[in-house]
Structure 1
Amino acid sequence: MALALGIEGSANKVGVGIVREDGTILSNPRHTYITPPGQGFLPKETAIHHQEHIVSLVQQALKEAGVSPVDISCIAYTKGPGMGGPLVTCAVVARMLALLWKVPIIGVNHCVGHIEMGRIVTGAKDPVVLYVSGGNTQVIAYSERRYRIFGETIDIAVGNCLDRFARVLNLSNDPSPGYNIEQLAKGGSRLIEMPYAVKGMDVSFSGLLSFIEGAAAELLAKGEATPADLCFSLQETVFAMLVEITERAMAHCNAPDVLIVGGVGCNMRLQEMMGVMVSERGGSLYSTDDRYCIDNGAMIAWPGLLAFKQGQATRLQDTTCTQRFRTDEVEVTWRD
């Protein structure tokens, strides 16, 4: 039975996963680059972090899976989208392993990786997909061998919006700023009105972020809001926007089910709000926990293996990285 080893490192997490062709995840270790509170992560430092950990992660993945290099059928790596330096670091290691082990190499779209990971873990057949992460926000549905983008952010991603506001409050980046906003929001009780920018099927978060960044200090100083109130209000507003455009795509596609993928997809409040809307439409909501919705190697190994089983491989000279690699650029040959 074919096995794929996948390498993911498009942002601050580097992971290596090994997946069997029946969809069984044999191993999936990862390591996160965590910066001090109030700081983001830069490409150069993130790439250095990945360089320091990736080889040991490959060894750990093999050990946990109970396999050796001779058992690996193909190597999959994240071609994009993502940060240039971290992407290149992982591509170099993938090329090295493919040459050493004499196996094909396959470049995988990061967004497609999230979708296929969500489908195999949850069993969702043909849902509308809400893909929400630090770098991407898209509403997607499959049609004619492409994952079509029905709506997306026109400026910053929802995860980036949350992360940047976490810096304003000087929240910890461990395990992630978005997670710490979610926990703090549970103690909020006052809903502060914020800009709500839905433009057809698209959303905009930059104006909302500018508003709350500017208003936070004044509201806190006057005692008119607590940090918990601000986090609560931010979550309620941005998630309502996402639920709205997702429902619009469901109506357009006549699809009853929704699959949430990406790092922000772990947020239980987002799942709760989406679940209410989906249940009212008579459908099912599919989501995963942080093992699979946060960037990981298995989500790259699995679509790489699907492509490999269709006879696909990437020529060595084409194993480059594309920072702006659109979801709908990929021909999805493994679906009808």
Structure 2
Amino acid sequence: MPGRVRKDPLRKPDRPYLALGLEGSANKFGAGVIKHFEDGSTAVLSNIRHTYITPPGEGFQPRDTALHHREWALKVINDCLTKADVSMHDLDCICYTKGPGMGAPLQSVALVARTLSLLFNKPLVGVNHCVGHIEMGREITGAQNPVVLYVSGGNTQVIAYSRQCYRIFGETLDIAIGNCLDRFARVINLSNDPAPGYNIEQEAKKGKRLLALPYTTKGMDVSFSGILTSVEAYTFDKRFRANGQPQNSNDEDIITPADLCFSLQETIYAMLVEITERAMAHIGSKEVLIVGGVGSNERLQEMMGIMAQERGGKVFATDERFCIDNGIMIAQAGLLSFRMGFETPLSESTCTQRFRTDEVHVAWRA
């Protein structure tokens, strides 16, 4: 059976449950079908997505992204149901991303979810995007009570669970880490295919010089706007070579795009490791779970692993199937909530760009 299965004796359903999850808070439209069995195991039946990719040097605008989601919704959902070998009539609920995210894309997904709910008379469940990442990460990795580092294009948070709520210990004070990476990729004209952050990661592997950049942690919070400004300034340095080639054989002091990518990654990931370690010390946890699109970065996982090992702990992370925005994480969080009796009335099936992680009642955890 596709996906992974993990038994959890703490939350066994009374019968098999099926949910369709729809995600579209940014430039990916995703649909996934998940099944919860009576013995407490979970199976990912399908997980399909399509990404809106813009030319190098360009970001994705809300209006164009929403149009992409509307154009691809039917195909992605049909492919998802076909791969899962289920029909809309088999589903117990339809889960969709309520927020946070970009307004226009969120509205497109909410519209699709409401339409399907009305056509097939299925309950709706609005899901917090951040909680979706966390619950899918816990399900796939088996992490029990970790400190969560949530890093993506629109969010940067250090989170821990307490009393049926995911508490935010620290977060970005300005732009998210993924936004920082995406914007710098546009400055040096890196491709957006498959993702700007991925291409920065590959470029950074060729970097040889660690350049001085602002290291900005403020208690448990971080700031990335100053670092972005500083690394962009290096592109105007007379030593900078956009093609990475010296002008003559004696020119050994050049700064290359690879050096800038390497320096940016090392600095911002060190900041994240620092505040995550503080949270671990505060709650006495030995586990770190990295979720969100930036969480698939191998260097971030490596740096976090070194820190956790020194503390006698362990890092949990998923691959790009579950780390990058996807429909199955919305299905997982939504179905957990649905099984606790939660439904979103049609009159309240809206979306919001600002839906904080700590606003969700995590009723399914003891």
- TM-score interval, smaller chain: over 0.9
1:188 to 193, 207, 214: 207
Does residue 327 of structure 2 align to residue 297 of structure 1? yes
Corresponding residue of 1:130: 149
- Mapping of residues 71-90 of structure 1, within 5 Å: 71-90=90-109
Does residue 31 of structure 2 align to residue 20 of structure 1? no
Deviation track 1:211-266 (CA, whole Å, cap 9, x = no partner) reads: 11112231415853111111000000000000000000000011011000000000
Q: Which has the higher contact order (CA 8 A, sep 6+)?
A: 1
- State the SS of the aligned residue for 1:220: coil
Corresponding residue of 2:218: 199
Corresponding residue of 1:220: 240
Does residue 140 of structure 2 align to residue 115 of structure 1? no
Corresponding residue of 1:178: 197
Counterpart amino acid of residue 121 in structure 1: I
TM-score, scaled to structure 2: 0.91
Instruction: Measure, in 2, the Cα distance between the counterparts of 1:30 and 1:188.
Output: 32
Q: Does the CA contact (< 8 Å) of 1:131 and 1:265 recur in 2?
A: yes
- How far did residue 16 of structure 1 move? 0.3
Counterpart amino acid of residue 46 in structure 2: S
Instruction: Measure, in 1, the Cα distance between the counterparts of 2:42 and 2:222.
Output: 34
- Mapping of residues 24-103 of structure 1, within 5 Å: 24-103=43-122
Instruction: Measure, in 1, the Cα distance between the counterparts of 2:69 and 2:315.
Output: 34
TM-score, scaled to structure 1: 0.99
Deviation track 1:126-152 (CA, whole Å, cap 9, x = no partner) reads: 000000000000000000000000000
Q: Hey, which bits of structure 1, 4+ residues long, moved more than 2 A?
A: 221-224
Where in structure 1 are there 5+ consecutive unaligned residues?
none
- How far did residue 313 of structure 1 move? 0.3
Identity of aligned residues (%): 65
Instruction: Measure, in 2, the Cα distance between the counterparts of 1:158 and 1:94.
Output: 30
Corresponding residue of 2:346: 316
Deviation track 1:94-119 (CA, whole Å, cap 9, x = no partner) reads: 01111111111000000000000100
Count of equivalent residues: 336
- Mapping of residues 146-161 of structure 1, within 5 Å: 146-161=165-180
Q: Does the CA contact (< 8 Å) of 1:152 and 1:203 recur in 2?
A: yes
Instruction: Measure, in 2, the Cα distance between the counterparts of 1:251 and 1:213.
Output: 35
- State the SS of the aligned residue for 2:333: helix
2:160 to 141, 145, 151: 141
- How far did residue 185 of structure 1 move? 0.3
Instruction: Measure, in 1, the Cα distance between the counterparts of 2:91 and 2:196.
Output: 36
Deviates more, 1:194-203 or 1:220-229: 220-229
- State the SS of the aligned residue for 2:74: helix
Counterpart amino acid of residue 74 in structure 2: V
How much is the aligned-residue C-alpha RMSD, in angstroms?
A: 0.8
Does residue 293 of structure 2 align to residue 263 of structure 1? yes
Counterpart amino acid of residue 267 in structure 1: N
Instruction: Measure, in 1, the Cα distance between the counterparts of 2:28 and 2:50.
Output: 6
Q: Does the CA contact (< 8 Å) of 1:23 and 1:302 recur in 2?
A: no
1:252 to 282, 297, 300: 282
- State the SS of the aligned residue for 1:106: strand
Instruction: Measure, in 2, the Cα distance between the counterparts of 1:185 and 1:200.
Output: 28
- Structure of larger gyration radius: 2
Q: Which has the higher helix share?
A: 1
Deviation track 1:62-91 (CA, whole Å, cap 9, x = no partner) reads: 100001111100000000000000000000
